[in-house]
Every structure is written in C-alpha cells, then in structure tokens.
Amino acid sequence: MISLKRIDTASQQSRGPKKSFRVVGVGGTFDELHKGHKFLLKAAFDYGERVIIGLTTDEFAKSLRKNHEIAPYGVRLRRILRFLKDLGVLKRAKIVPLNDPYGPALRNPEIEAIVVSRETESRAREINTLRVRRGLKPLEIIAIDMVLAEDNIPISTTRIKRGEIDHEGRLVKKERFKEGEKLIITR
C-alpha cells in the first residue's frame, strides 16, 4: 500500500520540518527557478535527511517539447546550487542529470520517498509500479499542491516566459511607450 501525503501550500508554511526519510528524491527541469520550484525543493528537504535532485539534461528537456526555450543545464544547475546554498541545505543535496522521466527513483533502493507536484503525481505512481516489478519497495509519494500566482492560476515557467507573472507569481502588466515595450509589476 502506498501512503500518499497531500500538502497544501498555504498550511505547509506554518508547519515545522518533518525529516521522516533518510533519502528523498525530487526531479524536474527547474527552468526559471520560481516560487513553485522553491516550494517543491524546500518540501523535499523538510522530509528528507538527504535529497537527490534529478535535473533534466538539455537533451531530455528538448524531448519534452516545451512551448518555450529552456535555459542550458549549466545555468539551471547554478541557479539550484545558489538556492540550496542560500537555504543552508547544499551539503544534504546531490544533484544528478535526469535523462528520462524516472531517473534514480526507478533504480536506487536508498530512495524512500519522492516529492512531486500534483501535476506529476501520476508519474510517481508509474515509478512505483516499475520499482515493484524490479523487486524494489514502492516509494512514499508526497504530493505538493501547485503554488498559485496572484490570479489563483499556478505559477509556471511558461507563464513567466510569456510575461504574465514574475518568479514570485505577481502579475505583470505590459504598457507600451514610444521607446518600446516596458514591463511593470503591478501589486
């Protein structure tokens, strides 16, 4: 039986750390490292003593057919390293290249839990099915609600790249001036 922990972003911020697992996995492209990504990563460190972060490679990211450009692996890696250092958890992290949708969560018997967004929860269940077939224990699935922008629509890299919101989920208003287009953050 798989235990599914649902965490809602509003109530999570008031709770203390939970470090229930020795090793937790989390993965993603983490392009335009935004508030939602940061919340997901923080949750992984709340639950895990150590966290293995799968970061999609450039090749795998291209195969995802996103409707926008994706920053190179090295740029995304540096952003995550800076965030983890600022958070004070860098020594507890291991970042590995992610070349497929499963990464080390499929093969690594040390990983006890996986932190995912609701959007990717079905992938975690698929990983568990495949782990059991390989003779490994299923992972505890910790599903995190999507972090919402000011307009109650989830924060996403796509929305940031379109100029709809900033990295914190604040709405961005476009105004035209003679010298061109200027972005103004409205609050």
Domain ranges of the chain: 4-147, 151-187
Question: Cα-flanking dihedrals φ and ψ of residue 143, to 5°?
Answer: -95, 125
How far apart are alpha carbons 5 and 61 in whole angstroms?
A: 28
Give the pTM: 0.85
Architecture of domain 4-147: 3-Layer(aba) Sandwich (3.40)
pLDDT at position 11, please? 44
pLDDT at position 185, please? 59
Which H or E element spans position 185?
A: strand 180-185
pLDDT at position 169, please? 97
Find out whether 94 and 66 touch, Cβ atoms under 8 Å.
no
pLDDT at position 148, please? 97
* Rounded-to-5 percentages of helix, strand, coil across the chain: 35, 30, 35
Find out whether 23 and 45 touch, Cβ atoms under 8 Å.
no
Q: Is 120 helix (H, G, I), strand (E, B) or coil?
A: helix
Q: Other CB atoms closer than 10 Å to residue 100's CB: what's the count?
A: 11
Q: Enter the DSSP assignment of 90.
A: G
Most confident residue range from 10-14, 22-26, 178-182, 183-187: 22-26
* E-only strand ranges, 86-125: 93-98, 113-117
How far apart are alpha carbons 39 and 50 in whole angstroms?
A: 17
How far apart are alpha carbons 6 and 12 in whole angstroms?
A: 10
pLDDT at position 179, please? 55
Which H or E element spans position 105?
A: none
For residue range 56-93, list pLDDT tens digits in order.
999 999 998 887 899 999 999 999 999 999 999 999 99
pLDDT at position 182, please? 58
Q: Is 93 helix (H, G, I), strand (E, B) or coil?
A: strand
